[in-house]
């Protein structure tokens, strides 16, 4: 494939990627992946970054004079005591946060935080998340991290361990999982490992085809030409994942598909100048992954809704579609078109 064609394709997919904003509510279940996605933005939080806690009262929200107690946070007027450095949230057990993108609030407790990872507990599902931070870390020992993981697990032996992260955080999660699998396979089998856009960094194939390991990589598919997250190829480690990847592909019509593959081949040979010239690093951003998952979840939920809708009388279907459209912030027409596109009864009317 020639370079000119790649630049022509970039004129199509670049506006799509640049148009991604913080996604709306799209999570309705409590799977490990869903819970991780709801707290995934914390991987970007450094200890000195500020965070908005949710427990305190905002005077301005109730039309009360808020000149003194309130201040501006990201174009929002909030009580000044709600804004705290992230390091203060992890000083002691009991500091609570709510997950994002969820229909109902997910409540988590931050147990600990350092320069490499955050330990976040979800008491409702009894899961302990080791959320590894993004960034470049040249000096760290996997065995030291795993030693701390085992120490925390000894305090909560019934808790389900979830090792997770985006970019470098995903790579560290995989390396820790590899180390645990090589040294304590029984413990490894009880863990869940979730890595978004990781750098290839594994030394063995022990994680290959393990049912509890989930690696996700985003790609744009423009007229059949596949542009994969370039970090998978352009990195300093020169290693392979050696395990299947969940490839999330978005086409020029914003239709998303998920395939599991061990053979990912981009339509063009990546070099760093080409990656920057095509602005392909936008594919690597966490906001891109969250929007891909938002589209994937919408597709999944709509497919489930489409299967159920035909079990109701035609006289009730219009009301159910209106309720679903309101809940998902979509139009009635979009829901009907989605049902007809994904359903088996394309030639029949859904409602009277």
Number of helical (H) and strand (E) elements in the chain, helices listed first:
10, 14
185, 328: one domain: no
209, 314: one domain: no
Question: What's the domain range around 149?
Answer: 3-55+96-304
Q: Is residue 76 part of a domain?
A: no
291, 322: one domain: no
Q: Is residue 159 part of a domain?
A: yes
Percent of residues in the chain assigned helix, strand, coil, to nearest 5: 40, 20, 40
CA distance 38 to 44: 13
Residue with tokens 């309720």: 323
Q: Is residue 182 part of a domain?
A: yes
Residue with tokens 């690597």: 284
100, 47: one domain: yes
Q: What phi and psi values does residue 184 have, to the nearest 5 degrees? A: -155, 75
Q: Is residue 77 part of a domain?
A: no
Q: Is residue 266 part of a domain?
A: yes
278, 327: one domain: no
Q: How far is CA 91 from CA 43, 82, 202, 226, 264, in A?
A: 17, 16, 33, 45, 43
Q: Is residue 86 part of a domain?
A: no
CATH code of the domain in which 144 resides? 3.40.50
CA distance 221 to 255: 10
pTM metric for this prediction: 0.83
The count of C-alpha atoms lying within 13 angstroms of the C-alpha of 298, restricted to the half-sphere facing its C-beta, is 22
212, 324: one domain: no
Torsion of CA 77, 82, 86, 88, to 10 degrees: 160
Structure tokens at 110: 């931050």
Count: domains in the chain: 2
pLDDT tens track of the chain, all 352 residues? 678 899 999 999 999 999 999 998 899 899 999 999 999 998 887 655 666 666 556 666 555 566 667 777 767 777 777 777 666 665 554 577 888 999 888 989 888 888 889 999 998 999 999 999 987 666 678 999 999 999 988 988 899 999 999 999 999 999 999 999 999 999 999 999 999 999 888 889 999 989 999 999 999 999 999 999 998 776 666 666 668 999 999 999 999 999 999 887 888 888 888 888 888 999 999 999 999 999 999 888 888 777 778 888 887 888 888 887 777 777 887 777 777 766 545 445 666 5
Does residue 227 contact residue 283 with C-beta atoms inside 8 Å?
A: yes
152, 282: one domain: yes
Q: Is residue 74 part of a domain?
A: no
294, 266: one domain: yes
290, 346: one domain: no
237, 327: one domain: no
Q: Is residue 45 part of a domain?
A: yes
117, 247: one domain: yes
Beta strand spans in the chain (E): 50-52, 70-73, 76-79, 83-85, 96-98, 107-113, 117-122, 127-132, 160-166, 192-196, 213-222, 225-228, 245-251, 256-261
CA distance 66 to 257: 48
165, 279: one domain: yes
The burial class, CB within 10 Å (0-12 / 13-18 / 19+), for 288 is: buried
């Amino acid at each position: 494939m020639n370079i000119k064609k790649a630049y022509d394709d970039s004129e199509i997919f670049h506006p799509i990627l640049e148009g991604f904003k913080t996604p709306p509510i799209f999570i309705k279940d409590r799977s490990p992946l869903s819970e991780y996605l709801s707290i995934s933005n914390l991987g970007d939080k450094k200890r000195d970054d500020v965070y908005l806690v949710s427990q305190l009262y905002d005077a301005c929200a109730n039309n009360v004079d808020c000149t003194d107690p309130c201040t501006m946070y990201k174009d929002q007027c909030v009580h000044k005591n709600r804004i705290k450095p992230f390091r203060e949230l992890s000083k002691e057990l009991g500091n609570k946060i709510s997950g994002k993108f969820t229909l109902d609030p997910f409540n988590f407790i931050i147990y600990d935080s350092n320069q490499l990872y955050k330990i976040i507990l979800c008491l409702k599902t009894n899961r302990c998340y080791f959320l590894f931070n993004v960034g470049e870390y040249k000096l760290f020992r996997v065995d030291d991290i795993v030693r701390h993981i085992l120490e925390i697990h000894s305090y909560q032996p019934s808790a389900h361990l979830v090792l997770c992260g985006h970019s470098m955080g995903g790579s560290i999660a995989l390396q820790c999982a590899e180390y645990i699998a090589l040294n304590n396979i029984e413990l490894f089998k009880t863990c869940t490992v979730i890595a978004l856009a990781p750098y290839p960094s594994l030394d063995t194939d022990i994680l290959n085809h393990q049912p509890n390991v989930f690696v996700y990589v985003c790609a744009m598919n423009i007229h059949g030409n596949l542009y994969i997250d370039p970090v998978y190829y352009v990195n300093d480690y020169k290693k392979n994942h050696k395990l299947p990847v969940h490839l999330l592909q978005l086409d020029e019509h914003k239709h998303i598909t998920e395939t599991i593959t061990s053979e990912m081949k981009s339509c063009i040979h990546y070099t760093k100048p080409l990656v920057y010239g095509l602005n392909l690093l936008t594919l690597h951003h966490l906001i891109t992954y969250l929007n891909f998952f938002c589209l994937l979840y919408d597709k999944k939920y709509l497919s489930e809704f489409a299967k159920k809708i035909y079990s109701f009388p035609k006289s009730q279907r219009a009301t159910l579609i209106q309720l679903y459209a309101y809940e998902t912030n979509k139009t009635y027409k979009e829901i009907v078109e989605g049902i007809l596109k994904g359903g088996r009864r394309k030639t029949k009317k859904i409602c009277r």
